[in-house]
Amino acid sequence: MRAVGIGVAALVVFAPAVAPAAEPWGIPHEKPVVLKGRVVEALCHLKGVCAPDCGAGKRQLGIVEADGRFRLVGKGQIDFAGAAPDLAGFCGREVEADGLLIENPAITLFFAQGVREAGSTAPFTPTERFKAQWEARNGPAPEWWRADPESNAIIAETGPLGIKGLVPKPKP
């Protein structure tokens, strides 16, 4: 029994690291990594202010690694969109996330490009759920951001520069 326990421990310790396949973006301080850990909601993890289902996609999420480090996941594969829709379904579960860890002196963020259940040998699922969810609510659009009703309402009210009545100079 003891031998089996030692064997299992050895397997865990010496399990081959998953090689990151994340696409480099040339972002300062980026480093391709596969994060392994538990999906948690930031406000709950840091402050104990918790919501059911990790906030059901309305709160920022991150991954707690085995050594206790908490990595906020700030970006997914869809332009102008985060990765909360991709992680929310894994709330409280162990995952592997392939992406770019950006350790900028101003802030450390993880750009998740793919995610899967821990220990799975399946390919990483691209972090593209935002688009599917957006299209389910609004219908298909080549650029979700220009078709987004909420964005358009704000920009109609404030103008694209954020100052009511201020219009950009026409292009030469």
Partner 1 sequence: MTGLSQSWSRRVWLRSALPIVALFAAGLAGQAQAQDGQRVSITGEIADSWCTVSGLMFAKGSAHHQCAVWCALGGIPVSIRDAEGALYLILRIGDDTDSVANPRVARLMAHEVTVDGELLERDGVKYLLVDQIADDKGVINLTHDEHGIQPFGN
Residue 74 found at the interface with partner 1 (CB under 8 A): yes
What is the rounded distance in angstroms from the CA atom of residue 56 to the CA atom of residue 165? 37
Q: Which of 18, 59, 125, 128 binds partner 1 (CB under 8 A)?
A: 59
Residue 80 found at the interface with partner 1 (CB under 8 A): yes
Closest-CA residue to 44 (of 24, 21, 64, 27):
64
Residue 137 found at the interface with partner 1 (CB under 8 A): no
Q: Which of 13, 107, 136, 156 binds partner 1 (CB under 8 A)?
A: 107
The residue behind tokens 């396949």 is 21
Q: Which of 1, 47, 122, 156 binds partner 1 (CB under 8 A)?
A: 47
**Are the C-beta atoms of 73 and 85 separated by less than 8 Å?**
no
Of 8-16, 107-115, 118-126, the segment contacting partner 1 by CB under 8 A is 107-115
- Whole-number minimum distance, CB 48 to partner 1, in Å? 4
- Whole-number minimum distance, CB 157 to partner 1, in Å? 8
Residue 8 found at the interface with partner 1 (CB under 8 A): no
**Are the C-beta atoms of 130 and 81 separated by less than 8 Å?**
yes
Q: Which of 9, 15, 58, 138 binds partner 1 (CB under 8 A)?
A: 58
What is the rounded distance in angstroms from the CA atom of residue 158 to the CA atom of residue 19? 46
Residue 31 found at the interface with partner 1 (CB under 8 A): no
Interacting residues with partner 1 (CB under 8 A): 25, 27-29, 38, 40, 42-51, 55, 57-60, 64, 68-72, 74-75, 78-85, 92, 102-104, 106-109, 111, 130, 144-145, 148, 150-151, 154-155, 158, 160-163, 166, 168-169, 171
